[in-house]
């Protein structure tokens, strides 16, 4: 009878001495790191060029085009004699310029302020005989009705009352257009300012 240790020893010896097929791993073709890095630099430069084509400010277009030309020359110089440190610096410069250009092309963070002029209608005192003053006052009154109408459409509670007031203001406006009087103007402005 053989002990388990001896059986294991014979099995181990048999495995060591038996010819095992050795499979050699296929070696992947070595890729030159310069080629891979140049592909990344070319992709960065292409992105900057796409942004440059979108840029249409005539004041700075020539200057930004010159920057692109200098960067393109540096890329061509890097192709002649690759240096990893120069490639890193070049990528930094290209990406910095591309980000600046992308920021200029991006929409504004905040919208431009509205240029609507709001007149205090109580300060206006148009003379009924002066057609220019009357027309200017009625135009300002129309703008005020429009602002009230837009505000009323956004209301939840009290919307019906606000819309009724707007209808009343429109009737007063029609009456002022037919026959403008100082008393009618004062009444219309008082109704407009009523809460």
Q: Both tokens of residue 98?
A: 């591309």
Buried b (16+ CB within 10 A) or exposed e, 154-166: eeeeeeeebeebb
What does the pLDDT read at residue 1? 47
**Entry pTM:** 0.45
Most confident of 30-34, 37-41, 128-132, 150-154: 37-41
Contacts of 49 (CB under 8 A, 6+ apart): 68
What does the pLDDT read at residue 53? 93
Most confident of 6-20, 61-75, 128-142: 61-75
Among residues of the chain, what percentage have pLDDT more than 70?
82
Q: Mean pLDDT score of the chain, rounded to an integer? A: 83
Distance CA 165, CA 192 (A): 8
Q: Both tokens of residue 195?
A: 């809460």
């Amino acid at each position: 009878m053989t002990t388990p240790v001896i059986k294991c020893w014979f099995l181990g010896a048999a495995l060591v001495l038996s010819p095992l097929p050795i499979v050699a791993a296929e070696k992947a073709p070595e890729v030159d790191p310069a080629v891979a890095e140049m592909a990344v630099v070319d992709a960065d430069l292409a992105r900057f060029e796409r942004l440059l084509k979108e840029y249409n400010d005539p004041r700075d277009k020539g200057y930004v085009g010159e920057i692109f030309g200098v960067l393109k020359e540096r890329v061509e110089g890097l192709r002649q004699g690759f240096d990893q440190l120069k490639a890193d610096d070049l990528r930094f410069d290209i990406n910095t310029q591309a980000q600046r250009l992308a920021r200029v092309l991006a929409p504004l963070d905040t919208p431009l302020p509205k240029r609507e002029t709001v007149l205090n209608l109580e300060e206006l005192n148009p003379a009924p005989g002066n057609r220019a003053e009357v027309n200017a006052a009625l135009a300002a009154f129309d703008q005020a009705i429009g602002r009230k109408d837009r505000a009323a459409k956004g209301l939840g509670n009290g919307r019906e009352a606000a819309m009724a007031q707007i209808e009343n203001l429109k009737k007063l406006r029609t009456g002022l257009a037919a026959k403008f009087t100082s008393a009618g103007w004062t009444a219309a402005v008082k109704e407009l300012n009523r809460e």
